[in-house]
């Protein structure tokens, strides 16, 4: 069983993924970390030195490699992962892969990401909450089509990590 968490940045994919992996006694993988390990540099550096198109190409290739592994795991993806190339098809139509969209309201994402924006390459230039909110709103409008194709959708808004993990596991078994 491969469980792949998708959703906008700040939706809790890594935190929820780690706890879900622990509860299911599975390894946890983070797609951005896998990319950084293979490229020998950070995602931010890849974006700034090679550009988003290069990043998305290697992201798609590494996603396919990870999903082809003959093992079970929980994988946290990047916020844009399902929106490029054939990634959403790969995530929703493979045997033994369950994609889960962690759905978080715009206002909650804005609050969470405002204090993290300097460490996120796509957000670091946004100086106010209003600009950040507008940016996220536009991105969500573009991306929700892909996110909503996930095999399962879990509303995260005001739930604890444990509550979200419990909801995910109850829909899997």
How many CA atoms are closer than 13 Å to the CA of 31, on its beta-carbon side?
27
- Is residue 98 within 8 Å of 153, Cβ to Cβ? no
15 is in an annotated binding site: yes
Q: Is 13 annotated as contributing to ligand binding?
A: yes
Q: Is 7 annotated as a binding residue?
A: no
Instruction: State yes or no: 17 annotated in a binding site.
Output: no
Asked whether residue 12 is marked as a ligand-binding residue, the answer is yes
Q: Is 14 annotated as a binding residue?
A: yes
- The Cα 41–Cα 36 span in angstroms is 5
Instruction: For residue 56, say whether it is annotated as part of any ligand binding site.
Output: yes
Burial degree of 14 (CB within 10 A; 0-12, 13-18, 19+): middle
The annotation status of 11 as a binding-site residue, yes or no, is yes
Taking the C-alpha atoms of residue 78 and residue 31, their distance in angstroms, rounded to an integer, is 7
List all residues 6 or more positions away from 114 whose beta carbon is below 8 Å from its beta carbon.
Answer: 129, 132
143 belongs to an annotated ligand binding site: yes
Numbered residues of the known binding site for Mg(2+): 14
Numbered residues of the known binding site for ATP: 10-15, 120
Numbered residues of the known binding site: 10-15, 32, 56, 79, 120, 143
Numbered residues of the known binding site for substrate: 32, 56, 79, 143
């Amino acid at each position: 069983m491969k469980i792949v968490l998708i959703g906008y940045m700040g939706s809790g994919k890594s935190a929820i993924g780690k706890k879900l992996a622990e509860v299911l006694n599975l390894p946890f993988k983070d797609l951005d970390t896998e990319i950084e390990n293979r490229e020998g540099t950070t995602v931010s550096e890849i974006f700034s030195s090679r550009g988003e198109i290069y990043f998305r190409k290697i992201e798609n290739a590494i996603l396919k490699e990870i999903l082809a592994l003959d093992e079970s795991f929980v994988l946290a993806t990047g916020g844009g992962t399902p929106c490029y190339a054939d990634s959403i098809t790969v995530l929703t139509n493979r045997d033994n892969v369950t994609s889960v969209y962690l759905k978080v309201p715009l206002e909650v994402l804005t609050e969470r990401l405002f204090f993290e924006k300097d460490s996120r390459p796509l957000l670091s230039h946004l100086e106010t909450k209003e600009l950040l909110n507008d940016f996220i709103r536009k991105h969500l409008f573009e991306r929700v089509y892909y996110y909503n194709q996930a095999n399962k959708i879990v509303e995260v808004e005001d739930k604890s990590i444990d509550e979200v993990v419990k909801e995910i596991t109850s829909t899997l078994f």
